[in-house]
């Protein structure tokens, strides 16, 4: 039994050493090349749509944490098993480590933009783990079996200490690697940026003051995040080039400082995710500063028929936006500022795209490095390849923020409130009803444009007991949200949000 535990510990210690050495080498070769991140990235890209949909629905914004935890658990189990086998047949241990190393290297090589040295973290990690395996389960291991009842067990304590040392070394190495991996002068460079004042500053909206309502402007820390990047791409503004090419008469190349010198607009715009469920939180409203996209397109002069703009991010993710929508007068922009500061790193620093009226996956490329004029028949971007719709205008959405689901409130008068958006069409009315009664029209916050969400509130009377509050919104074209609930795939959820609460 003791020997088995030792073997399990030795196996997992070797895996920990592999991961730690991988992280240390990745300090030089780049954060997405470390074995766990490379494998995680490969899993994200290879996961079939229903599983991904399930993951996003189950874990929400913790989907990446869940994936890393899953990889960690799998690795621990497999390496524990390898440890058990390796004490009997050492070659099985070495073969297992070689397979690990090759899998990690293959995953890294499969990433967009991979270079040959991206395999080094996994390979060196595997070699280090093999050395550790040899030291821990090396010659002499068998001799530590109890020779006779009650006799001292030679060497055991030394070996146990060796396993502890191995875990300790792996811990220190891993923490050092992880800490150094994200450490370059990017935060410094971002803090040093002085954003220009906008040539055109849009009006500043004001929200309703109701306890429990979603604030009109979403602070950076509360803004949802959705992307396929396991580690945030780190794009230094000094090395930044944006290319506008493909089917254009005049290809354009711009550095970050050239982009900052162009006339800018600043606008409050809501961004929402196609995966947002009825009543969900995958939407935010911010004040974005950026270069109007239409001006840049005019300069590049797209060919007739180039009806899709393919956005590419530094990590290879792609996005397809209708060319005509970007030129129809709406505030489509290449954003560099978010709520008065340079874009936060996880929000696409240094440059991302924002197009009011379209879900993020067809418009909002973060870490944007290229716009390629193409056509919808010639190219399927990342999510379209995975069967999401190529055209995805934002559907009308309304949500109850207060009361919270299953809350208990005092009976009598009660203020209920929430938000609604029908982006680029505008919200004309929001109605609520209690327990399937008559609809009543709510009070709407003043609004500065059709591109932001609109808060609503209503005073209602409730008797003691359990109640259901429903909400529905109507846009400026006169369309009211349909009651039936439809899940997000393939082009956005619809249906009325409702909240059950108790009054007493």
Ligand X SMILES: Nc1nc2c(c(=O)[nH]1)N[C@H]1C(S)=C(S)[C@@H](COP(=O)(O)O)O[C@H]1N2
Q: Which chain residues interact with ligand X by CB under 6 A?
A: 223-229, 271, 273, 313, 317, 347, 360-361, 364-367
- 360 lies in the binding site for Mo ion (CB under 5 A): yes
Nearer Cβ to Mo ion (7/226): 226
Nearer Cβ to Mo ion (86/226): 226
Smallest distance, Å, CB 440 to ligand X?
A: 33
- 226 lies in the binding site for Mo ion (CB under 5 A): yes
Smallest distance, Å, CB 225 to ligand X?
A: 4
SS (H, E, C) 301-352: CECCCCCEEEEEECCCCEEEEEHHHHCCCCCCEEEEEECCEECCHHHCCCCE
Smallest distance, Å, CB 26 to ligand X?
A: 20
Nearest to 331 by CA among 270, 405, 260, 372: 270
* Cα distance between residue 358 and residue 268, in whole Å: 15
Smallest distance, Å, CB 348 to ligand X?
A: 6
138: Cβ contacts below 8 Å, ≥ 6 apart: none
Nearer Cβ to ligand X (11/381): 381
Out of ligand X, Mo ion, none, what residue 453 binds, judged by CB under 5 to 8 A for its kind, is none
Nearer Cβ to ligand X (352/497): 352
Out of Mo ion, ligand X, none, what residue 225 binds, judged by CB under 5 to 8 A for its kind, is ligand X
- 397 lies in the binding site for Mo ion (CB under 5 A): no
> What sign does the CA torsion over 433, 439, 443, 448 have?
positive
- 291 lies in the binding site for Mo ion (CB under 5 A): no
* Cα distance between residue 331 and residue 341, in whole Å: 19
Of residues 312 through 351, those in contact with Mo ion by CB under 5 A are none
What are 441's strand-pairing partners? Answer: 431
Smallest distance, Å, CB 177 to ligand X?
A: 25
* Cα distance between residue 198 and residue 265, in whole Å: 5
Of residues 145 through 204, those in contact with Mo ion by CB under 5 A are none
Nearer Cβ to ligand X (14/369): 369
Smallest distance, Å, CB 233 to ligand X?
A: 7
Smallest distance, Å, CB 359 to Mo ion?
A: 6
* Cα distance between residue 336 and residue 367, in whole Å: 10
Helix, strand, coil distribution of the chain in percent, nearest 5? 40, 25, 35
Strand order in the sheet with 308-313: 252-255, 241-246, 368-374, 308-313, 318-322
SS (H, E, C) 174-235: HHHHHHHHCCCCHHHHHHHCCCCCCCEECCCCCCCCCCCCCCCCCCHHHCCCCCCCCCCCCC
User: Which of 118, 361, 367, 496 is close enough to bind Mo ion by CB under 5 A?
Assistant: 361
Q: 147-175 burial, b for 16+ CB within 10 Å, e for fewer?
A: eeeeeeeeeeeebbebbeebbebbeebbe
Q: N- to C-terminal Cα distance for the chain?
A: 59
* Cα distance between residue 262 and residue 95, in whole Å: 58
Q: Which one of 13-21, 270-278, 396-404, 431-439 is the stretch in contact with Mo ion (CB under 5 A)?
A: 270-278
Out of ligand X, Mo ion, none, what residue 100 binds, judged by CB under 5 to 8 A for its kind, is none
Smallest distance, Å, CB 367 to Mo ion?
A: 15
Nearer Cβ to Mo ion (361/421): 361
Q: Which one of 138-146, 209-217, 354-362, 457-465 is the stretch in contact with Mo ion (CB under 5 A)?
A: 354-362
- 6 lies in the binding site for Mo ion (CB under 5 A): no
Number of H helices, E strands in the chain: 12, 20
What are 318's strand-pairing partners? Answer: 312
Smallest distance, Å, CB 288 to Mo ion?
A: 17
Q: Specify the 3-state DSSP secondary structure of 287.
A: strand
- 273 lies in the binding site for Mo ion (CB under 5 A): yes
- 16 lies in the binding site for Mo ion (CB under 5 A): no
Nearer Cβ to Mo ion (395/472): 395
Nearer Cβ to ligand X (37/364): 364
Per rule CB under 5 A, count of chain residues that contact Mo ion: 4
Out of ligand X, Mo ion, none, what residue 327 binds, judged by CB under 5 to 8 A for its kind, is none
Nearest to 359 by CA among 391, 334, 323, 385: 391
* Cα distance between residue 357 and residue 370, in whole Å: 22
* Residue nearest to ligand X as judged by C-beta position: 360
> What sign does the CA torsion over 272, 275, 278, 280 have?
negative
Q: What stretch of H or E contains 8?
A: helix 2-29
Out of ligand X, Mo ion, none, what residue 367 binds, judged by CB under 5 to 8 A for its kind, is ligand X
Nearer Cβ to ligand X (163/274): 274
Smallest distance, Å, CB 74 to Mo ion?
A: 27
Q: Which one of 92-100, 125-133, 223-231, 403-411 is the stretch in contact with Mo ion (CB under 5 A)?
A: 223-231
Out of Mo ion, ligand X, none, what residue 223 binds, judged by CB under 5 to 8 A for its kind, is ligand X
Nearer Cβ to ligand X (225/262): 225
Judged by the rule CB under 5 A, the positions of this chain that interact with Mo ion are 226, 273, 360-361
């Amino acid at each position: 039994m003791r020997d088995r535990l030792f073997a399990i510990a030795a196996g997992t210690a070797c895996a920990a050493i592999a991961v730690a050495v991988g992280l240390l080498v990745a300090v030089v070769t780049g954060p997405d090349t470390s074995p766990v991140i490379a494998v995680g990235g490969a899993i994200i890209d290879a996961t079939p749509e229903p599983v991904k949909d399930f993951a996003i629905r189950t874990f929400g914004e913790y989907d990446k944490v869940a994936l890393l935890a899953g990889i960690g658990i799998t690795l621990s189990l497999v390496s524990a098993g390898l440890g058990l086998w390796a004490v009997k047949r050492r070659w099985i241990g070495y073969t297992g480590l070689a397979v690990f190393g090759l899998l990690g290297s293959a995953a890294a090589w499969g990433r967009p933009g991979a270079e040959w040295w991206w395999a080094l973290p996994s390979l060196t990690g595997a070699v280090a783990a093999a050395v550790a395996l040899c030291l821990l389960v090396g010659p002499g291991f068998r001799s530590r079996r109890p020779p006779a009842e009650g006799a001292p067990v030679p060497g055991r304590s030394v070996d146990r200490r060796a396993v502890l040392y191995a875990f300790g070394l792996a811990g220190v190495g891993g923490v050092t690697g992880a800490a150094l991996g994200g450490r370059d002068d990017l935060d410094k460079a971002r803090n040093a940026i002085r954003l220009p004042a906008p040539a055109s500053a849009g009006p500043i909206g004001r929200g309703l003051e109701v306890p429990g309502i979603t604030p009109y402007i979403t602070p950076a820390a509360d803004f949802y995040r959705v992307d396929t990047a396991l580690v945030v791409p780190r794009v230094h503004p000094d090395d930044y080039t944006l290319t506008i090419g493909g089917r254009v008469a005049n290809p354009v190349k711009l550095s970050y400082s050239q982009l900052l010198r162009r006339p800018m607009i600043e606008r409050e715009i809501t961004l929402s995710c196609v995966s947002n469920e009825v009543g969900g939180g995958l939407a935010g409203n911010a004040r974005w500063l950026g270069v109007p996209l239409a001006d840049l397109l005019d300069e590049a002069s797209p060919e007739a028929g180039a009806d899709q703009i393919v956005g590419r991010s530094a990590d290879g993710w792609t996005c397809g936006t209708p060319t005509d929508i970007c030129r129809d007068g709406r505030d489509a922009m290449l954003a560099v500022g978010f709520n008065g500061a340079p874009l936060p790193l996880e929000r696409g620093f240094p440059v991302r795209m924002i197009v009011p009226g379209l879900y993020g996956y067809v418009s909002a490329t973060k870490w944007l490095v290229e716009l390629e004029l193409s056509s919808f028949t010639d190219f399927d971007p990342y999510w379209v390849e995975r069967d999401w719709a190529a055209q995805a205008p934002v559907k009308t959405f309304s949500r109850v923020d207060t009361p919270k689901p299953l809350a208990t409130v005092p009976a009598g008068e009660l203020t209920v409130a929430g938000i609604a958006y029908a982006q680029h069409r505008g919200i004309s009315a929001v109605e609520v009803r209690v327990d399937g009664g008559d609809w009543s029209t709510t009070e709407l916050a003043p609004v500065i444009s059709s591109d932001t969400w609109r808060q609503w509130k209503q005073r209602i009377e409730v008797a003691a007991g359990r109640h259901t509050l429903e909400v529905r919104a109507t846009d400026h074209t006169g369309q009211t949200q349909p009651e039936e609930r439809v899940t997000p795939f393939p082009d956005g959820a619809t249906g009325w949000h409702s909240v059950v609460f108790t009054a007493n």
